Amino acid sequence: MTHLPALALRSAWNRRYTLALTLFAIALACALLLGIERLRGDARASFAQAVSGTDLVVGARGSPLQLMLHAVFRLGEPGGEMPWASARAVAALPDVAWTIPLALGDSHRGFPVVGTTGDYFTHFRYGSGEALRLAAGASFAGLFDAVLGADVAERLGYRVGERIVLSHGSGHIEGLAHDDKPFTVTGILARTGTPVDRSVHVGLEAIAAIHLEWQGGAPMPGVRIPAEFVRKFDLAPKTVSALLVGLKQRGAVFAVQRQIAGMPGEPLTGVLPGVALDELWQLTAVAENALLLVSACVVAVGLAGLAAVILAGLEQRRRELAILRSVGARPRDIFLLLAGESLAVTLAGALAGIVLHAGLRLVLSPWLQAQYGIGTAPLSTTLALAPGEWRLLAGVLAAGGLASLLPGYRAYRLSLADGLTPRI
Q: Residue 422: CB partners within 8 Å, gap ≥ 6?
A: none
* Identity of the highest mean pLDDT range in 139-143, 282-286, 301-305, 317-321: 139-143
For residue 424, what pLDDT is reported? 46
Q: Residue 420: CB partners within 8 Å, gap ≥ 6?
A: 319, 322, 326
Each residue's pLDDT tens digit, 22-51: 788 888 888 888 887 777 777 777 777 777
**291, 111 in Cβ contact below 8 A?**
no
Report which residue type is found at 175: G
For residue 359, what pLDDT is reported? 82
Instruction: Return d(Cα 175, Cα 195) in angstroms, integer.
Output: 27
For residue 379, what pLDDT is reported? 47
What average pLDDT does the chain have? 80
Quickly state the pLDDT bin for 384 (edges 50, 70, 90). low
For residue 383, what pLDDT is reported? 55
Each residue's pLDDT tens digit, 185-230: 999 999 887 889 889 999 999 998 888 877 666 677 767 777 787 8
Burial tier of 79 (Cβ tally within 10 Å: 0-12, 13-18, 19+)? buried
Torsion, Cα of 90, 255, 250, 119 (10° steps): 0
Report which residue type is found at 234: D
Mean of the pLDDT values across residues 52-75?
Answer: 87
3-state secondary structure labels for all residues of the chain: CCCHHHHHHHHHHHCHHHHHHHHHHHHHHHHHHHHHHHHHHHHHHHHHHCCCCCCEEEEECCCHHHHHHHHHHCCCCCCCCEEHHHHHHHHCCCCEEEEEEEECCEEECCEEEEEECCHHHHHCEECCCEECCEEEECCCCCCCEEEECHHHHHHHCCCCCCEECCEECCCCCCCCECCCCCEEEEEEECCCCCHHHHCEEEEHHHHHHHCCCEECCEECCCCCCCHHHHHHCCCCCCEECEEEEEECCHHHHHHHHHHHHCCCCCCEEEECHHHHHHHHHHHHHHHHHHHHHHHHHHHHHHHHHHHHHHHHHHHHHHHHHHHHHHCCCCHHHHHHHHHHHHHHHHHHHHHHHHHHHHHHHHHHHHHHHHHHCCCCCCHHHHCCCCHHHHHHHHHHHHHHHHHHHHHHHHHHHCCHHHHHCCCC
For residue 70, what pLDDT is reported? 86
- Cα torsion 305, 307, 312, 317: sign: positive
Cα–Cα distances (Å) from 87 to 14, 23, 161, 237, in that order, read: 76, 61, 33, 11
Report which residue type is found at 310: I
- Half-sphere exposure in the Cβ direction for 294 (13 Å, CA): 9
Count CB-CB contacts under 10 A for residue 126.
21
Looking at per-residue pLDDT, the higher value among 159 and 354 belongs to 159
Mean of the pLDDT values across residues 98-125?
Answer: 92
- Model pTM score: 0.70
Quickly state the pLDDT bin for 242 (edges 50, 70, 90). very high
Mean of the pLDDT values across residues 81-89?
Answer: 91
Mean of the pLDDT values across residues 365-377?
Answer: 61
pLDDT(377) > 70? no
> Lowest mean pLDDT: which of 15-19, 183-187, 324-328?
324-328
